[in-house]
Amino acid sequence: MRKSFWVMALALSCSACVHQAPLGGDPKIKVIESGSLPEPGRSDAEASSRPYLIGPFDRLYINVFGIDELSKVEVQTDASGRISFPLAGVIEAAGRTPAEVETILAARLRERFVRNPQVTVNLKETVSQVVTVDGQVTQPGLYPVVGRMTLIRAVATAKGTTEYARLQDVVIFRTVNGQNYAALYNLKAIRDGAYPDPEVFANDVVTVGDSKARRIFKDVLTVLPAVTTPIVLILQRL
């Protein structure tokens, strides 16, 4: 009798918690279909992902072949995205690719009588081009976006989802041309190949939803270790 009481209480609790508030409500956020989420432009993040564009406080590793004084130099962009390099002076690096900075550095060094300078610029560390992964993931935080990143890769970078994750309730927030967007994704369906894994860009915020039903089940399973198989099966579907 006691077990039946708990099962009934569990069913009523879950029926109440699965009905979550609809996505949106904030008039500043435009909720759209997942497949229609636009890609940010160069001005939205001072350039988002591919190719990588340098931003404020990024660390660069610069090497001028054959000149020891100008080799293996590590520099950090300032708050405005500028760097200072010997003989080349101050360079506006923000919004430019490492290859573009290479070209500028080479031109500046030629002006200072450096014959045929061979310059390489590599990204050592980025703090400007990041994606925020929040919610029910193992390690929420800010993660660098270098190259192409997708939703599954972003979640994997945060060490995957937790046991309480609601995989059909994953939201990507994005700002494009001053407009805030939000799109809902089903991570399980993506993993099953139901539709393509969407690309994630710098400055996006990925939020993995919380399954309150799973939490209730966990509490009840603690009270009733001899719970029946059908309830466990329901748990797997939440």
**DSSP H helical ranges for the chain:** 2-17, 98-111, 151-157, 187-191, 212-223, 229-237
pLDDT at res. 204: 94
Q: What is the reported pTM?
A: 0.57
pLDDT recorded at residue 49: 45
Max CA pair span of the chain = 92
Coil, strand or helix: which one is 205? Answer: strand
Q: Which amino acid is at 2?
A: R
Q: What residue ranges define each of the domains in the chain, with the CATH number in brackets?
A: 2-45+129-237 (3.10.560.10), 59-125 (3.30.1950.10)
Predicted local confidence at residue 214, as pLDDT = 57
Residues 101 and 84 sit within 8 Å (Cβ to Cβ): no
| Per-residue pLDDT of the chain in tens (238 residues, 90 and over written 9) | 554 544 444 444 444 444 444 544 556 556 766 666 777 776 665 544 457 788 888 999 999 998 988 989 999 999 889 999 999 999 999 989 999 999 999 999 999 888 899 999 998 888 778 899 999 999 999 888 877 889 999 999 999 999 989 999 999 999 888 888 989 999 998 888 888 889 999 889 999 998 775 556 555 555 555 544 444 444 444 4
